[in-house]
Each structure stands twice: as structure tokens, then as C-alpha cells.
Amino acid sequence: MPVTRSQAVLNGERLALTRTLSQVENNTPEGNQILEELFPHTGNAHLIGVTGAPGTGKSTLVNQLVFHYRHPPEETKLPTVAVVAVDPSSPFSGGALLGDRVRMQDLAGDPGVFVRSMASRGSLGGLASTTAGLVQVFDAAGFDIILIETVGAGQAEVEIASLAHTTIVVEAPGLGDEIQTFKAGILEIADILVVNKADKPGADNALRALRNMLSLAQPEKGVVMHHGKTMSVEQAPANNAESDQKWVPPVLPTTATNGDGVAELIEQITAHQQHLKTSGGWILREQARLKNEVGNLLQEALHKHWNSSIPPADYEKVLDQVVCRQISPRRAVEKLIKGAGL
Amino acid sequence: MGDSQTKIRVLIAKAGLDGHDRGAKVVARALRDAGMEVIYTGLRQTPEMITEAALQEDVQVVGLSILSGAHMTLVPKVIKMLQTQGLTNVKLFLGGIIPDEDKSELTKLGVDGIFGPGTSTQLIIEDIRKACQ
């Protein structure tokens, strides 16, 4: 009996793996069929997200992380590592320049590492719509650790938190004052905060600002320094149902260009994984992760179904009515949904 | 959203030891603007690194930029390694300084196109599109 494509992926054949990744990325029927067959074999990898603003050094840090995983200080079982690196697609041409590999030269020639670049193809949350699918393929193929690098993210690209088990948010010195750290969004999703380029001036300020932000956000610690004195603060009631709420995100300095601080970062990643496993947070995150994926796919499928059941001419007609201010956009949506028989 | 979409994926690599990547970057940018997904590897790539990247990225096209004069050493190695990895469908294009007397031999080896200085990016885009049909 010939080996099927999905069996070849499970056997770790690289050519089958790379072709499958393309099928899944292109959302082809064949790709979806293989995903179907691979799904029961997923759920073993530790998914680590790396996000942060453009130019903070995410790719260089990922390069160092993978290198450290593959060259541990003492003899341990070497984990295999996959990297999914997402870069933005052009909103005008649809093309993309995927340059994350430039920073990952140290990983060349290592058969335990697989680096795949992908373009965001119009998705806005920092990932591509098929990134979760690619991660599942790597997971089924037996990679122990999967690093997912998002597009350079600003403040609101937080989709990675619903895909990864452990989310690392990378900052760099000089990206803004303390007020930036109070804003909602990307800093909230961090399980681990990294100030990269720690050899640059201003790194201490960035570290301090982030630690201050966290000490206010984690009132259960209860004690803060004020005018040189320690003061206890009344505890705010917990409003987070997730049972891993007691994990306080560490703030770590790294210099990814020479590897300083990367060993400590790996220690924290491992500690976070263990924390999730012992606190039950792992299962909660798995549930949230899969729920999110089903939700996304459902939305996509509904949109597709709607798209195919409404004649394009009707759509144009309703749009024209909105442009002429005859009906409001909300009324137009009502009409369009009724017109599609949904 | 939700529909299958295929893009031409191209690997642009600087093979060998010369550090002049202006041309490679111009081509990468032009292909991006033509709607392709371009994976740029950076400088000083060995044939092993180029083949590994082509495999991991599942590209249809590899574009090598060589200005060092080492093309008759590097290109046959890349072609052989691509075949060994089972990447027999990958199209190979060359750019940079390739003397006329070497072109026929390179074409015989399996190079799909050679773009010297002064080639318009439009021609490169068209040739790549044709090769990927």
C-alpha cells in the first residue's frame, strides 16, 4: 500500500511536510483533508508565541531561542523545533517580502529545525488565517516546540494569545514612556515580557517601566515601594476566571545579537509551561484555543455560504442604495442577510 | 476569505561570498510588488543553505544572485542538491555577472533563465510567471 501524504508527514518526511504546509496555507481541499487526518495526532507540542513591535528583534530572538534549545548546556533530550514566521502582505499588490530567515542563519543545516515563513495575506490580527493550520501540521509531525513569530505588532494585534500556550512580548528601549505600558492590548497578553537590545541606552528605564506596570496590575502581591517605604495595598478582587492567574509575568532583559539573557528566558518559558500544567491552566488554554479556532472557521464558512447565496447584482444594488444615502449600512446588512436566506 | 489561494513563492538568495545585494533587493522588491511572496535569505548562502530554504519554504522558484564569478562552481551544486532533495520542479533563475560564454552550459545544466545587468524587472516578472504556469 502506498504511503499517504498524511502518513508521510507523521513519519517526518520533510518533502511531504513542506508540501502539506503549502496545501494548508493555500486552503486547498487536499490540505483540509490532510489536516482532518492529522488532527488526532496534535496536542503534544508546546506552542510559544513571540510578538512585539517591528524592529524589536523578534526574529533574532527566535534564532537565539531555537539555537539554545538545540544546544543545551547539559546533556538532555534535544527537542525538535519548528518556527512559523509571519510577515505582512502588501495591501496593494498582495505580495510580500518575507525576511525573517535573514536573522535565522545559525539554524541552517540542523535537521531538528524547520523554519517556515508565511505572509499574513490580508489578516489583521498579527497572524495569517491559516497559521493555526500550519501549527497543527508541525504538531502532528512531532515537533516538540513550535515558535510562532507574529508580524511586527503594534498595540492591538493580540490574536497570538489565543493560539500559543506561552506568549512572549518583546519590547526594546526607546519605544515610549511609561504611559504606553498602561495602555490596554499587547502587554496584557504577555506571559513573559522581554526587553531586547538590553545593551542599548534606556534599557533600564524600559525594564523599570514594565515592572512598575506589572506591580500595579498584580495587586495580590500587595506591597509596593512608595517614597522609599514599603506600603501594603488593599487587594483588588480577582476578575480573571483562568486558574493560572497567579502567574506573574517576569520581565527579562535580553540581547539577542549575542545571546545574553536567552538561557534565562528559556528557563522562564519552561517554568510557565510547568505552571500551566500544574495549575490546570494548560487545559483551559487548550479549550480556549480550540474554541477560538472553531469560531474563526465558523465565521469564515458562514461568510462563504452567504457569499455564494447572494447574487452579486443584488449586492451591488444594496451598496448603491447606501451610497445614495437611501438606506443605512445597518439596514443594508439586514437586507443582505435576508436576501441570502440566512 | 475561506477560498483557496495560491501565490507564486520565490526564494531570493545571495550565493557565495560577494556582498553586493543591491540587485537581489531590487528584484525581491519588484516581485513583491508583482504580487509574489518573496523569501529573502540574505548574504553568503551556501548551496546547502539555499536548498534547505527552498525545501522548507516550498518555493516554485529560486533566484540566485552571483557577482563573484563563482557561478560555474555554485550553480551545478545547487542544481544537484535540489534534485537530491526531490525538488525537481523548482525553477532556477540567475542574476548578477554571468559571462556570455558560460550561459549555454548553465542553460544545459537546467537553469531556466539568466538576467544580466540592465534587465528590466518587468521581463523578470513575466519570465517567472511563465515558468510557473
Shortest CA gap B100–chain A (Å)? 31
A306 part of contact set with chain B, CB < 8 Å: no
What are the structural domains of chain B? Answer: 9-131 (3.40.50.280)
B37 part of contact set with chain A, CB < 8 Å: yes
Are residues B5 and A114, on separate chains, in Cβ contact within 8 Å? no
Whole-number Å distance between alpha carbons of B58 and B39:
10
Helix (H, G, I), strand (E, B) or coil at A294: helix
Q: Give CATH superfamily name and number for A42-280.
A: P-loop containing nucleotide triphosphate hydrolases (3.40.50.300)
Q: What is the pLDDT of residue B129?
A: 95
Domain ranges of chain A: 42-280, 310-339
Nearest CA to B59 out of B37, B32, B28, B78 is that of B37
**Which of A93, A102, A105 shows the shortest C-beta gap to B40?**
A102
Tell me what ipTM this predicted complex has. Answer: 0.91
Whole-number Å distance between alpha carbons of A145 and A280:
20
Q: What is the pLDDT of residue A241?
A: 47
* pTM greater than 0.80: yes
Are residues B56 and A18, on separate chains, in Cβ contact within 8 Å? yes
Are residues A98 and B35, on separate chains, in Cβ contact within 8 Å? no
Asked which of A153-162, A234-243, A255-264, B39-48 is least confident by mean pLDDT, the reply is A234-243
Mean pLDDT of the region B15-37: 91
pLDDT band at A228 (very low <50, low <70, confident <90, very high): low
Mean pLDDT of the region B106-116: 94
What pLDDT digit, counting tens, does each position of A43-93 carry? 999 999 999 888 899 999 999 999 999 998 877 789 999 999 999 998 889
Q: Where are the alpha helices (DSSP H) in chain A?
A: 5-10, 14-25, 29-38, 58-70, 131-140, 178-182, 203-217, 262-279, 281-309, 312-323, 329-339
More confident residue, A231 or B63: B63
Report the mean per-residue pLDDT for chain A. Answer: 86
Q: What is the pLDDT of residue B110?
A: 92
**Which of A97, A108, A115 shows the shortest C-beta gap to B38?**
A97
Distance from chain centroid for Cα B21? 13
Shortest CA gap B46–chain A (Å)? 10
| Residue from B3, B6, B7 whose CB has the most chain A CBs within 10 Å, to mutate | B7
Q: Where are the alpha helices (DSSP H) in A197-311?
A: 203-217, 262-279, 281-309
CB A146 within 8 A of CB A82: yes
Q: What angle do CA A45, A39, A43 make, to 5 degrees?
A: 25
Q: What angle do CA A102, A105, A106 make, to 5 degrees?
A: 150
Residue A1 has pLDDT above 60, yes or no: no
Q: What is the pLDDT of residue A181?
A: 66
Q: Which residue of B has its CA nearest to A120?
A: B37
